[in-house]
Amino acid sequence: MKPRYLVLVEDNPDDAYLALRVIEKVFPEKVIRARDGEEALVLLTRLAAEGIELVELVLLDLKLPKVDGIEVLRSIRSSMELKGLKVAVLTSSEDEGDQERCRELGIADYLFKPLTVAALIKVLGTAPGSDRR
């Protein structure tokens, strides 16, 4: 069986470290980190070639260098290969406009930093150690 992926798109090393600590408690499979929006789109396109159904979740920061999170989300939703991805925004932005734009683009959830185990379990729809598929 091929490994499943969780993609973390986060430019801040401290926020990434904290998120990865939570993720490792809940998601025992492969986690890949992209450090900016451009890198995320390249990575997701590569994963699509391998079978995008292998991506369990994309945790996407909004305030990213090169290509911001809203643009990454728009690109995902406009791509035939990527549009079905489950994306949750992980951000410190409490801006209602950001939240509304993200919801209009079909996010699974809008999570605030720091990530918690409960929030990750909720968005994955699973408990630790359970069979997701």
More reliable by pLDDT, 92 or 1: 92
- Average pLDDT along the chain: 91
Ranking 33-37, 88-92, 108-112, 127-131 by mean pLDDT, the lowest is 127-131
Spatial CA neighbour of 119 closest among 29, 26, 18: 26
Between CA 22 and CA 38 the distance in angstroms is: 25
Q: How far is CA 56 from the centre of its chain?
A: 9
Domain ranges, ordered by start, for the chain = 5-123
Provide the β-strand partners of residue 88. Answer: 59, 109
pLDDT band at 51 (very low <50, low <70, confident <90, very high): confident
What pLDDT was estimated at residue 92? 93
Closest CA to 28 of 60, 4, 53: 4
Identify the CATH number of the domain defined by range 5-123. Answer: 3.40.50.2300
pLDDT of residue 75 exceeding 50, the answer is yes
Q: Is the peptide bond before 28 cis (omega within 30 degrees of 0)?
A: no
For 127, the 3-state DSSP assignment is coil
| 128 confidence band (pLDDT: 50, 70, 90) | very low
Q: Rounded mean pLDDT of 72-80? A: 96
Q: How confident is the model at residue 126 (pLDDT cuts 50, 70, 90)?
A: low
Q: Are 7 and 55 in contact (CB under 8 A)?
A: yes
Alpha-carbon span 17 to 13, nearest angstrom:
6
Average pLDDT over residues 72-91: 95
For the whole model, what pTM was predicted?
0.91
